[in-house]
Amino acid sequence: MINEEKLHNLRHSLAHLLAAAVIELYPDTKNTIGPTIEDGFYYDFDFKSPISDKDLPKIEKKMREILKTWKEFQGEEKSEKEAKEHFKKNEYKIELIKEIEGKKEKITFYKSGEFVDLCRGGHLENPAKDISPDAFKLDRVAGAYWRGDEKNKMLTRIYGLAFETKEELDAYIKQQEEAEKRDHRKLGALLDIFEYDDDVGPGLPLWLPNGGIIIEELEKLAKETEFTAGYERVRTPHIAKESMYLKSGHLPYYKESMYPPIEYEGGKYYLKAMNCPHHHKIFAARPKSYRDLPLRLAEYGTVYRHEKSGELFGLMRVRMLSMNDAHIYCAKEQFVSEFKAVNEMYLKYFKIFGIGKYVMRFSTHDPKELGKKYVDEPELWLETEKMVREVLIESKIPYVEVANEAAFYGPKIDVEVWSAIGKEFTLATNQVDFAIPKRFNLVYTDKDGKPRTPLCIHRAPLGTHERFIGFLIEHYAGNFPLWLSPVQVKVIPVRMNHNEYAKQVFELLKENNIRAELDDADENLGSKVRSAKISKIPYWLVIGDKEITSDKVTLESRDAGQLGQLSKEELVSKLLEEIKSKK
RNA sequence: GCCGAUAUAGUUCAGUGGCAGAACACUACUUUCGUAAAGUAGGAACGUGGGUUCGAUUCCCACUCUCGGCUCCA
């Protein structure tokens, strides 16, 4: 088994090799940086004329040629002057050299064959011997901004896959192909869950009936859970006047991702991109006492965000989102227990859905950005961040803390998950807001008769329908548990003359609110079973002479195979029990 | 938004400067069948707008959508 450092060195050496091959084939190209990544390496270049993935085989061939001549890596320390002289035509390297110099670190060059690069080291001793020429593959070409900043020039990034052996590379490629099969975009079409239409617009999904059922079930779960937890449901309009977003302070921070306003009778109306201000207005609609707190206002609120065209991705990144939103208004003393209760709700949901692989990301502010990216309340930032951190530690929830990623109005905790093809997404969010209630002059009368401003917790444990269902499709690979399955049972008569009895069973299931479908097509049994399996339906019933004679049904399961004969009553109670258990 | 790629029936994929092909799905008929595809027939497509050409789905240009990334995000 190769150790991590060796694999890193292998990939890092290959990045050098890629740069060497590119420079040899395209001599006027400027090479920039080339780190290793999870499955290989990449290198960013500034090409004089653009290249495409059609050029990769040629580059790959050149790499293999050069590899034979690379018997060692020689490191050498250079002065700033020598380094700048060597890279005088490459402004990117000059920038890096200045940076290294600024940090008072050593400048080192590494040379293999004819190729020299600015590098801090970490290579194989003998690339020609230690790199298997068929265990790497140039994967794709992509654009990437210099230093990851969209204000900078766009460079051309070449990605490569690299492993110790060809077998590992092949296994990795195979595994990626398997993962693509559970891609929610593919399964979403196969299972008739959602669709896009050019006339409706990009990022605006149409939920087909099967998607509609999943949405209804999720909302039912949320409504029941929130009712028990003391939330109250509200409803708010989809548009609002500009003045509200000016008051909330959202407009300067959010204008880019809001749809342009509708001008009407001299006023500007915006499509809402968040529900918070509307809920704040509901808080303000009646005078509040400390006895009204905590006040928990919930709504599956639909919002519109004009995400950049290149950012759209299946159901995971869309322009219309229905959010499992709620705002909890509480006194400072109530904050910890409320925040804890919200966390517990998250964990309860994750248990229901069997979500185990996620990261809790605690995002805090950056004092340097106060007044710019974040509201200028240095003490409140520190105070609320401390409270959140303590709740996390006390609840023993593993988390990572990242600075400079908070919302503009307070710290937040995001739940990060990965899509089938490896993209990272925030599935759910839980945010503290100490700023906007003040801007809206939200107050309650405290015990001492004085007005006080409440804290606000924004929370959306089920995220948005779009992203959550996109995630669930991949999480279950389309094999939804019974309670979420659009079709729960398919009734399959063996021959046409069994249709009548099958229809009776079908009606019985429907009377019990079980989502059944009757397949009375003039087809043979094998073909009907096949279509039930392809649609990933959790249960089907086979009805033929045997069943009619015994007045029973034969139950079969997608996950557990043949379950034998049951009476109709047993069938209904078994299914209802499983639906109720949400297993 | 930026860099690169793609676009042919509902889906997966062929193909061509001169009448557009398959499989599955769909519809009808035949068949009446016990566990992942019965048979026959039929309807159904070259993303949009320009250009080159006697003629463009094919070549060129622009746009749009989608895909792979970057940036951003629930």
Whether residue A458 sits in one domain with residue A375: yes
Could you tell me the distance in Å between the CA of residue A579 and the C1' of nucleotide B29?
Answer: 42
Return the exposure string of A50-73: e unless at least 16 CB atoms fall within 10 Å of the residue's CB, then b: ebeeebbeebbebbeebbeebeeb
Residue A317: predicted pLDDT: 95
Euclidean distance between CA atoms A218 and A227, whole angstroms:
14
**Residue at which a domain ends, from A412, A441, A475:** A475
Per-residue pLDDT of chain A in tens (583 residues, 90 and over written 9): 458 889 999 999 999 999 999 999 999 999 999 999 999 999 999 998 888 888 899 999 999 999 999 999 999 999 999 999 999 999 999 999 999 989 889 999 999 999 999 998 889 989 999 999 999 999 999 999 999 999 999 999 999 999 999 999 999 999 998 889 999 999 999 999 999 998 899 999 999 999 999 999 999 999 999 999 999 999 999 999 999 999 888 888 888 889 999 998 889 999 999 999 999 999 999 999 999 999 999 999 999 999 999 999 999 999 999 999 999 999 999 999 999 999 999 999 999 999 988 999 999 999 988 888 899 999 999 999 999 999 999 888 889 999 999 999 999 999 999 888 788 899 999 999 999 999 999 999 999 999 999 999 999 999 999 999 999 999 999 999 999 999 999 999 999 999 999 999 999 999 999 999 999 999 999 999 999 999 999 999 999 999 999 999 999 999 999 999 999 999 999 999 999 999 9
Full residue range of the structural domain in which residue A204 is found = 187-475
Residue A432: predicted pLDDT: 95
Whether residue A207 sits in one domain with residue A237: yes
Could you tell me the distance in Å between the CA of residue A417 and the C1' of nucleotide B26?
Answer: 39
Nearest residue to B64 (CA, C1')?
Answer: A198
Residue A174 lies in a domain: no
Nearest nucleotide to A544, CA against C1' atoms: B34
- Residue carrying the six token digits 């050593």: A106
Residue A179 lies in a domain: no
Whether residue A417 sits in one domain with residue A351: yes
Nearest residue to B29 (CA, C1')?
Answer: A522
Whether residue A50 sits in one domain with residue A133: yes
Whether residue A390 sits in one domain with residue A267: yes
Determine contact, residues A47/A76, Cβ cutoff 8 Å: no
Whether residue A236 sits in one domain with residue A145: no
Nearest residue to B65 (CA, C1')?
Answer: A198
Determine contact, residues A436/A456, Cβ cutoff 8 Å: yes
Whether residue A213 sits in one domain with residue A340: yes
**Residue at which a domain ends, from A137, A168, A199:** A168
Determine contact, residues A40/A164, Cβ cutoff 8 Å: no
Euclidean distance between CA atoms A265 and A435, whole angstroms:
32
Euclidean distance between CA atoms A430 and A278, whole angstroms:
18
CATH number at residue A436: 3.30.930.10
Residue A492: predicted pLDDT: 96
Residue A1: predicted pLDDT: 46
**A86 labelled ligand-binding:** no
**A119 labelled ligand-binding:** no
Closest to A26 measured CA to CA, from A42, A11, A46, A43? A46
Residue A512: predicted pLDDT: 98
Residue A2: predicted pLDDT: 55
Residue A8 lies in a domain: yes
**Residue at which a domain ends, from A475, A492, A515:** A475
Residue A303: predicted pLDDT: 96
Whether residue A547 sits in one domain with residue A425: no
Could you tell me the distance in Å between the CA of residue A458 and the C1' of nucleotide B2?
Answer: 33
Whether residue A344 sits in one domain with residue A319: yes
**A110, two tokens:** 């590494």
Residue A564 lies in a domain: yes
Query: How many domains does one find in chain A?
Result: 3
**Is the four-CA dihedral A338, A339, A341, A346 of positive or negative sign?**
positive
The separation between the first and the last C-alpha atoms of chain A, rounded to the nearest angstrom, is 39
Residue A373: predicted pLDDT: 86
Could you tell me the distance in Å between the CA of residue A195 and the C1' of nucleotide B45?
Answer: 19
**A108, two tokens:** 């080192």
Whether residue A378 sits in one domain with residue A339: yes
Q: Which nucleotides of B are covered by protein (CB under 7 A)?
A: 1-5, 11, 25, 29-38, 64-74
CATH number at residue A129: 3.30.980.10
Residues constituting chain A: 583
Could you tell me the distance in Å between the CA of residue A202 and the C1' of nucleotide B40?
Answer: 43
User: What does pTM read for this prediction?
Assistant: 0.94
Q: Is the ipTM of this complex over 0.85?
A: yes
Whether residue A200 sits in one domain with residue A138: no
Euclidean distance between CA atoms A118 and A72, whole angstroms:
16
Whether residue A381 sits in one domain with residue A236: yes
